[in-house]
Structure formats: structure tokens, C-alpha cells
């Protein structure tokens, strides 16, 4: 009786939304941590609103809608789902519910990407968006010239698809498959007494060279009952005459199992733009400390995503509330950027060769009256 395994072709996870969500988000702790970290960080940055003169508006129906987009979600939870959908599928869909034509929306909903289909039309713009849940379906038409619709389709760049975006999760799936396989292998080891499989070699000194059917059945039952599973780990194997145990599996050290798992985890984090230190990879010291790692996360990943969504909202949502309105994100509310902002303020404040309005423009603030003269 001998047990063996052989290496075959790798079977990568299919690039379907359900497979990406199941294998990448639900089953892989590294991908889940990366997506959740980025989505929560980006959704925590508040929006600010400016009118056509550049003055900040403290209260406005658009700000109220973003703070409470629908009866089921707060503003941060709504934005978190939008950012998460974008990272999982490369597409995020937002429905603006308007009580009538030309009226501003009253509610916003983030729709599941796997239920949405883009209906292509001539001219390079979508003809409609079709959403189906079971036997129920809804469609939103698009303007044949401008492409305007009650659906915001925020999509990532895809080199091979004209209508749908490519998700960071898709680029990371090879590493996710490897990481999941390593976790399954470790679980299988624990379930089989925490050691690789081997072989029982039957080599009697005399008599028949093969076990009888009854001997084979009894031996198999005894092994499964008394020596397999984690509850029997460490129990000594008692062999009768003619049986010898031969170890066949490679040890984790021989396979460099832990290092391979960490490399796969690092590749997953790389695809999402999350520093290794923030997801707990052992030995990852790319940055000197956690503060620098968080700063890199915001500057390289979180802020670019938040700025992309800001631009999409200014294209889609702001015009519904009137001309001249402009949304922006409030970087001053990001704790990780406090030290960088303080250094910038100190540098700009000490520049005597700049006027007050030039200093305000450098810091992202609108000009004030009588602020163009140099202060003496």
C-alpha cells in the first residue's frame, strides 16, 4: 500500500465576479485585509463643497445626501461599499434616485457589479444599464450623445475590455490561489496528525508478498480510526510483522513553505498598494516604522482612489444640484498626513516673498480680499 502525489498544471481561479469575491475576499485573509483597509481609509475622508466663487459651503443638500445617502446606510458605509466593489470587480455602480426629471436625487445606492450589465450603443457610449436580481430587472437609459444616466459607472482601466474595468483583485489572483493552497495544505497537515503522508511497505520474510483483502481492510480501518486527524497527533504507530513505515512527504522546511506563503502574501499586498507591514507579514521592514507605512498607504493608494471618486462625483452628481458646484476631499482630516501638512504650513508661512493669496493657493484655499499684496 503506497500513497503518492504529483504536481500537475496549476488551476487558476476563473475571472468571474463570484469567484473573485469568494476566493479572493471571503477566503483569503490577506486580500480581505487589503481591501478592507483601503476601503475604510478612503471612505473616512470627508467631502467638502465649494460654489462657483470658490467659497466653501457648510450646509447644502448635496452634502446632506452624501452624509445620509439612503435609509439603510450612513455616508461612510455607503462609500466603503463603493470602494470595496471597485477593488473586487474593477467596477462600481451608484444609482441616483430622483423623484422627477431635472430634480436633484434624494437617495444613492451602491449596486452589486455582478448584477449589472452595460448595454453597448453606437457612438462609443452605453445605451443603457440593465440590473437583474432573480426574475426582477430594471433598466436605466443613457443619453445617446453625452452618455448621462442615473447610474454612475466608475471603472478601472482594462487593456482588453471597452465596457468593464479590471480589478486589482484579478491581478492578484495567482498569488491568492497560491496563498489559499498553502493554507489548505497546512489545514490538511493538521487534520492528518500534523505530518505529511507516507507509505506502509509490506515486505514479509516468508509467505505471500501481498496482503489479503481482509488484512488490507482491517489495516486501513485501524489507521483511519487511531492515527489520522489532529486528535491523534503524536500517537505512536504500532506495526505488525512485515510492515514498515516509509516517510514520503517533504517537510515544511524542505519546501520553504512559510517563505513561499509570505511571498504570496506580499504579492497580494503589492497588487492593492498596501505596505507589507500593515498586514502583518513577518520580516517586512520596507519602511522604518508604522507611521511611514501608513503615510505611504495614503499617499500611494488611498488618496488617488479618493480623488478618482471625487472626480467621478463631480462629473455625475454635482451637476444634478446646479451649475458651479465642486466637491473635494478634506485632506486636513486625514491623521496620517498631519506631520506632512504641518511641515508644509510652516514652509509656506515662512515664505516672505509670497502674498497671502499665493500662500492660500499653495495650501488649497480660495483667495481673500486685499490678499494680493506682500506683507511687510
Percentage with pLDDT > 70 across the chain = 75
Question: Which CA distances in Å does 179 have to 38, 331, 353?
Answer: 20, 35, 56
Q: Rounded CA gap, 244 and 47, in Å?
A: 71
Question: Which CA distances in Å does 266 have to 19, 33, 120, 171, 172?
Answer: 21, 12, 38, 13, 10
In the predicted structure, residue 161 carries a pLDDT above the cut 50: yes
In the predicted structure, residue 138 carries a pLDDT above the cut 80: yes
In the predicted structure, residue 18 carries a pLDDT above the cut 80: yes
CA dihedral 216, 217, 218, 222 (to 10 degrees): 100
Kindly write down the DSSP assignment for every residue of 68-102, as one continuous string.
S-BTTB-HHHHHHHHHHHHHHHSEEEEEEE-SSTT
Residue 9 confidence (pLDDT): 45
Q: Is 313 exposed, middle or buried (0-12, 13-18, 19+ CB in 10 A)?
A: buried
Q: Rounded CA gap, 350 and 373, in Å?
A: 16
Q: Rounded CA gap, 30 and 355, in Å?
A: 49
Task: For residue range 187-234, list pLDDT tens digits in order.
Answer: 766 665 545 455 555 456 555 556 667 766 776 776 666 656 555 554
Residue 286: Cβ within 10 Å count: 12
In the predicted structure, residue 181 carries a pLDDT above the cut 70: yes
Residue 68: alpha-carbon gap to chain centroid: 24
Task: For residue range 281-312, list pLDDT tens digits in order.
Answer: 766 666 667 878 888 898 899 999 999 999 99
For residue 167, which of 56, 286, 76, 35 has the smallest C-alpha distance? 35
Residue 246 confidence (pLDDT): 62
201 or 375, higher pLDDT? 375
Residue 10 confidence (pLDDT): 47
pTM for this entry: 0.76
Average pLDDT for residues 117-142, to the nearest whole number?
Answer: 87
Residue 86 confidence (pLDDT): 95
Parse the chain into domains and list their residue ranges.
Answer: 17-114+146-175+256-333, 176-255, 338-376
71 or 243, higher pLDDT? 71
From 71-75, 92-96, 371-375, the region with the lowest mean pLDDT: 371-375
Gap between the terminal Cα atoms of the chain: 94
Sign of the torsion angle spanned by Cα atoms 8, 12, 14, 20: positive
pLDDT band at 366 (very low <50, low <70, confident <90, very high): confident
- Buried-exposed string 80-93: b where 16+ CB fall within 10 A, e elsewhere: bbbbbbbbbbbbbb
Give the residue carrying C-alpha cell 481492510.
217
15 or 8, higher pLDDT? 15
The three three-digit cell numbers of residue 338, written as one number: 498631519
Q: Rounded CA gap, 105 and 98, in Å?
A: 4
Residue 226 confidence (pLDDT): 60
In the predicted structure, residue 362 carries a pLDDT above the cut 90: no
Average pLDDT for residues 350-354, to the nearest whole number?
Answer: 75
In the predicted structure, residue 1 carries a pLDDT above the cut 60: no
CA dihedral 220, 225, 227, 229 (to 10 degrees): 120
Count of residues for the chain?
376
The DSSP output letter for 351 is: -
pLDDT band at 4 (very low <50, low <70, confident <90, very high): very low
Q: Contact 360/368 with Cβ under 8 angstroms? A: yes
Task: For residue range 88-122, list pLDDT tens digits in order.
Answer: 999 999 999 998 877 899 999 999 999 999 888 87
Amino acid at each position: 500500500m503506497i500513497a503518492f502525489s504529483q504536481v500537475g498544471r496549476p488551476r487558476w481561479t476563473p475571472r468571474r465576479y463570484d469567484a473573485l469575491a469568494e476566493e479572493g475576499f471571503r477566503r483569503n485573509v490577506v486580500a480581505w485585509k487589503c481591501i478592507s483597509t483601503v476601503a475604510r481609509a478612503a471612505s473616512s475622508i470627508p467631502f467638502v463643497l465649494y460654489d462657483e466663487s470658490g467659497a466653501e459651503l457648510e450646509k447644502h443638500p448635496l452634502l446632506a445626501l452624501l452624509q445620509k445617502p439612503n435609509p439603510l446606510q450612513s455616508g461612510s458605509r455607503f462609500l466603503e461599499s463603493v470602494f470595496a466593489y471597485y477593488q473586487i470587480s474593477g467596477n462600481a455602480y451608484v444609482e441616483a434616485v430622483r423623484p422627477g426629471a431635472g430634480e436633484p436625487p434624494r437617495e444613492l445606492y451602491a449596486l452589486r457589479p455582478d448584477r449589472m450589465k452595460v448595454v453597448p450603443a453606437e457612438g462609443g457610449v452605453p445605451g443603457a444599464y440593465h440590473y437583474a436580481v432573480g426574475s426582477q430587472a430594471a433598466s436605466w437609459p443613457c443619453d445617446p450623445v453625452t452618455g448621462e444616466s442615473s447610474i454612475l459607472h466608475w471603472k478601472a482601466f482594462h487593456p482588453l475590455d471597452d465596457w468593464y474595468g479590471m480589478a486589482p483583485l484579478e491581478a492578484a489572483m495567482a498569488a491568492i490561489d497560491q496563498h489559499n493552497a498553502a493554507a489548505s495544505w497546512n489545514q490538511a497537515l493538521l487534520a492528518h496528525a500534523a505530518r505529511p503522508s507516507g507509505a506502509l511497505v509490506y515486505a514479509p520474510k516468508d509467505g505471500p508478498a501481498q496482503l489479503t483483502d481482509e488484512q488490507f481492510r482491517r489495516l486501513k480501518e485501524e489507521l483511519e480510526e487511531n492515527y489520522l486527524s489532529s486528535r491523534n497527533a503524536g500517537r505512536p504507530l504500532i506495526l505488525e510483522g512485515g510492515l514498515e513505515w516509509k516517510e514520503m512527504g517533504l517537510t515544511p522546511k524542505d519546501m520553504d513553505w512559510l517563505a513561499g506563503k509570505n511571498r504570496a502574501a506580499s504579492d497580494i499586498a503589492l497588487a492593492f498598494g498596501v505596505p507589507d507591514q500593515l498586514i502583518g507579514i513577518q520580516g517586512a521592514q520596507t519602511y522604518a516604522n508604522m507611521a511611514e507605512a501608513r503615510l505611504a498607504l495614503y499617499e500611494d493608494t488611498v488618496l488617488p482612489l479618493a480623488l478618482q471618486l471625487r472626480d467621478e462625483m463631480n462629473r455625475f452628481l454635482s451637476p444634478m444640484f446646479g451649475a458651479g458646484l465642486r466637491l473635494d476631499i478634506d485632506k486636513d482630516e486625514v491623521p496620517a498626513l498631519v506631520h506632512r501638512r504641518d511641515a508644509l504650513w510652516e514652509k509656506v508661512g515662512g515664505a516672505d516673498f509670497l502674498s497671502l493669496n499665493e500662500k492660500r493657493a499653495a495650501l488649497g484655499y480660495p483667495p481673500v480680499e486685499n490678499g494680493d499684496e506682500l506683507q511687510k
